[in-house]
Each structure stands twice: as structure tokens, then as C-alpha cells.
Amino acid sequence: GADPGKLSVLLDALAALGLIVKRGGTYRNARVARELLLPGSRSMESILLHHLDGWGEWGRLSATVRAGRSPRGGASGDWQENFIRGMEENSRERAAAVAGRIPLRPGDRLLDLGGGPGTYAVAWADACPGAEITVFDTPATLRVARKILREKGADGRVRLAAGDFLEDPLGGPYDFVWISQILHAYSGPACVKLLRRARSALVPGGRVAVQEFLPAEGKTSPPGPVFFSVHMVAVTEGGRAYTAREIAGMMKAAGFRKISADRPDPRGVGILRACR
């Protein structure tokens, strides 16, 4: 139950936001609420909870900027699950488009490095059932990924490998390594180290693709990647959003060749590609 007077105030405010529709004294879900907030819908709940988990770090942003480091703290006990499920919600629509733009061949071996919930891996499994696909991430991440894959009926379609991708063997060799939204969490030297390890896991002539939020070269636009970079300053020790030129320089330092960059989408998300 609920207090009728206070509930009506809340419902009127939700109607003002366009989440519900008011007709006389009756309220019903608007289309956006039906699509995003009902059980079984393509909910964005977890990504919102993930942003809430980050508020502790944002609340200490001024201290982080002065001290040059960001202590972890203030997140809920469910932050790992919120984060990984939020990444699944945030990438599920883009994953199919990316798998269509970067095709695999039957028998290709793909490494989704830091693949989180496995959303991109499953999209490639759908696009090329004959490919052999591995998601490499931390044990804590893969515990959540297994649940997500079971819920989607996709468990068994991709291989899960647990470890620290900066230190542990990556397996392989692979024909293609996909690195999506990973570099921004690390310092420049750590990014080069990760890219070198990815290159070592590739067959000669193998391909790599790096997807990131890409600020323009002046680093003041577009707003999404620029403010995402501030978020990385708040919640990581050495991360930030890198420009396409900076990432290309990292790839070159790691030994990759034939480096090219796609035009970023309206959100500022772009892909750089290269070969071993």
C-alpha cells in the first residue's frame, strides 16, 4: 500500500517526466516505461545502479584531483553485479551491429579480452556459429557473466577463461582479439602492456580491434566522452578517455601495423583496427 496523497504527487511528477500518462484520475505506463522498466523488458536498471555506486567517488572528486589518486569506496555490496549487468544493458544493441561490421570466418578463434557479460561474444557466435569464441575476464566478473549467459540461453556457446589480463596467460593463438571499453580504465603504460600481450596472443597477421569512447583531439568535445573521462578520473587509479590518435600511438608502440580508425558514432564511440 501507499499514502494516496503522497503517491499522487509522485505519480504526477513521473507524468511530468513522460514516464507515465495521466488521464483524469488514472495513471498508466508510457511507452518508455513499458520498454525499460517492466519485468522482462530491456531494462536499464543495472546501469543506473552502477552510476549510483559511483557516487561515492564523484563525491570525492575534488580530493582525487588534488591528490592524484582515487580510493575505491562507497559502492554497494552488489556493485560488481550492477556493473557487469549494466555493461550488458549498455551494449546489447550495439553488439549485433559491430558483429555485422567485423565479420568472422568459420573456424576463426576470437578472444574477447575483458569481455565482461559476453554480450559481444554472443553476438559474434550468432553471426558466425562456426567461430571459436573465448571471453577472458576476472573470476568475479565471470561469475556474473555465467548467470547472464544462462538467462539468455547462451551458456555453452562461448568459452569463459578467468584471470588477470595484465599478468596471466591469455591462451590462443587467436585470429582476432576484441578489446571493448577497457583501455579507459588504465594508464597509458598499462594500455601499451595490455596491447602487447594481445598482440602476442595473435597468429601472424591476426587482427585486433579496440572500441572506446573517443574525445576529439582537442579533448573538449563531444560532451559524452569528455565527461566520461572525468568519471574515469573519479573511479580509477590511472584511467581516462583517450583520443583516437593516442590509442593509435599505443597500438604502434605495442607493435601493431596497418592501424586505422572508424568514424565515431553520435555518442563518441569509435573503433580502431590493426594487424599483428
Q: Domain count for the chain, please give it.
A: 2
| Closest by Cα among 124, 118, 188, 195 to 160 | 118
HSE (CB half, 13 Å, CA atoms) of 130?
A: 6
Same domain? For 83 and 185 the reply is yes
What is the pTM for the complete model shown? 0.83
Residues 270 and 216 in one domain: yes
What confidence tier does 46 reach under pLDDT thresholds 50, 70, 90?
low
Does one domain contain both 23 and 75?
Answer: no
78: domain CATH number is 3.40.50.150
Residues 95, 205, single domain; the answer is yes
Q: Are residues 186 and 231 in the same domain?
A: yes
Q: Which H helix or E strand runs over 26?
A: strand 26-29
Q: Write the single-letter amino acid at 82.
A: N
Is residue 20 pLDDT above 90, yes or no?
yes
Biggest distance spanned by C-alpha atoms of the chain: 69
Residues 75 and 142 in one domain: yes
Does residue 260 share a domain with residue 209?
yes
- Per-residue pLDDT averaged across 211-240, rounded? 94
Provide the domain limits for residue 167.
Answer: 45-275
Domain match, 8 and 117 both: no
Q: Which residue has cell 573521462?
A: 229
Q: Show the DSSP H helices in the chain as ranges.
A: 4-16, 31-36, 45-53, 55-59, 61-67, 79-101, 119-127, 139-151, 188-200, 223-235, 244-253
* Residues 56-103: tens digit of each pLDDT: 777 777 777 877 876 555 445 578 898 899 899 889 889 999 999 999
Residues 84 and 165 reside in one and the same domain: yes
* pLDDT for the residue 166: 98
**Strand-pair category, 269-275 with 202-213:** antiparallel
Q: Are residues 104 and 224 in the same domain?
A: yes
Q: Are residues 51 and 132 in the same domain?
A: yes
pLDDT at res. 62: 79
> In this structure, what are the phi and psi dihedrals at residue 274, rounded to the nearest 5 degrees?
-160, 175
Give the H or E element holding residue 57.
Answer: helix 55-59
Q: Are residues 229 and 251 in the same domain?
A: yes
CA distance 157 to 134: 9
Give yes or no for a contact between 155 and 149, defined as CB atoms under 8 angstroms apart: yes
- What phi, psi does 83 have (nearest 5°)? -65, -50
β 257-261/269-275 pair status = antiparallel
